[in-house]
Structures are given as structure tokens and as C-alpha cells.
Chain A
């Protein structure tokens, strides 16, 4: 499925809605999953559960966002953690990238 120009939305997790503080490292890198129509929906949900440890409902929500809008912001993280997640997701052959937050 072609990538869309829809804006990237912030995931609806409690942690991600917390304001930045001095105690938190810089989390200026976004982990984004892009839609590939070839991937099974159950497979994408499963991968999100395994890689992020998410409950099924949250993994399904992000899977549907990928499917319907072309992409989903999965995490906002430090460089190292974002890189780790992208490696994990690409190990499952999902189209995932890390982008510096503007």
C-alpha cells in the first residue's frame, strides 16, 4: 500500500503523554511502522505484542492505524531504543523506520 501524507499522530499511551522532565533522557526519535499490504493483520498484531510487550487490544489498534492510514507512530524514544525497536521490527520484515522528531 502506498505511503500516505497523513500526519503522524502521537500514540495514546500514558507514558507518551507525560510531559518531558529533566529526569527523562531525550526521546526525540519516532519509531514508525508503514503499511505493506502483503503483511497479515494477525501477524502485524503479533509482532507488536512481541516487540513492545503490548496487550493485544493496543497492538490491534496500532495495526489498524497502519492498515487504514498507511502508518502508525509506535514509540517516541531515545536514539538507541528507537534503533533497537526498528531492528526488531525489521527482523520480522515489517516496514519500520526511525525518524528524528521535528
Chain B
């Protein structure tokens, strides 16, 4: 997937276009179908153990649950009508997003990325220690890498 610089002028909000192959499109949709991956109990308002069960901790969990539900609704819209996002251009396929949709996809992909990493046991990635591959965690490893690849492509548009 590759960002195509030069916003289209056909709407009030600039559109961001990415060249995408049919295989990448299928992989992106398959990756997005994993959402959400991060567990509900992942979010902590503070390092202070005294805040566990506090009003502010509950508020954070409610806020994240609402955000997750909103992301899920938008994903369902994408799965129902992918042609709203994936368009045919002469000789290529494109993913076309508004700025708000880009932010939404970045958040969704990072949930999948971080959630998959947590499922793998939070390995030290920079030490290149090989993850002990098993059938269940192979999927997490693949999801972590794919979501990162798509994130990196999307971030090209905001550099």
C-alpha cells in the first residue's frame, strides 16, 4: 500500500488516496476483522494501585468501551460497503480516506497491534528474541506485523 500525494479537490475535506493491491485490500480487511484485540481491562488511569476500582478508573473504562463501540460500528459500515473506501482508478485500486477516517483506522490498527503484542507476552522486539511460535500465537504475530505495515503506510499521509 502506498500513499499517493496530492489531495483530491472534489470535497470540502481533502481526501487521502493510497494505491492498494487486491491482495493488500484483502489482508487489510482480514486484519480489521480482528478488532478489538486489546482486552477491556488493559487500560489503567494511573500506576497507583489505589486507583483500581476508583471512579476515574471506571470512567476511563466506560470511555474506552464507548470508543470501541463507535469504532466497531464504523468497521461494520466498512465491511458492509467497502466500495465507499476502496475505489477503482485507471489501472489501479485505491483506498480513499478523509482525515478523520485515517485517524480512526490508525486507532483501530494500533489496538490490533498492541493487543496482538500483549497476546504474545509483550516480547522485547528490539532484542530480536524469536517468539516461540505456536499455532495460536502465529496469528497474533501475523496480526501485529500486518497492522504495523498498514499503519506505516497510512502515516506517510500525515508526514
Contact = CB atoms under 8 A, between A and B. Distances in A.
A92 B45 CA distance: 14
A10 interface: no
Contact of B45 (A38, A86, A91): A86
A92 B110 contact: yes
Nearest to B120: A38
B133 interface: no
- Chain B interface, >50% SS class: helix
Given A86-B45, A97-B45, A38 B144 contact: yes
Contacts, number: 67
A38 B117 contact: yes
B12 interface: no
Contacts of B132: none
B107 A100 contact: no
A43 B106 contact: yes
- Chain A interface, >50% SS class: mixed
Interface string B121-140: 01011100000000000000
B103 interface: yes
Interface string B76-106: 0000000000000000000000000001001
Interface residues of A, number: 21
B48 interface: yes
A38 B113 contact: yes
B114 interface: yes
Contacts of A37: 124-126
Contacts of A1: 124, 126
Nearest to B114: A93
- Can you list the 5 inter-chain pairs with the closest CB atoms, starting with the nearest? A38-B117, A93-B110, A93-B114, A42-B155, A37-B125
Interface of B: 38, 43-48, 56, 59-60, 63-64, 67, 103, 106-107, 110-111, 113-115, 117, 122, 124-126, 144, 148, 151-152, 155, 158-159
30 contacts: A1-B126, A36-B117, A38-B113, A39-B110, A39-B113, A39-B114, A40-B148, A40-B155, A42-B155, A43-B151, A46-B106, A46-B155, A50-B103, A83-B45, A83-B56, A83-B59, A86-B45, A86-B60, A87-B63, A90-B43, A91-B63, A91-B64, A91-B67, A92-B107, A92-B110, A93-B38, A93-B107, A93-B114, A93-B115, A99-B46
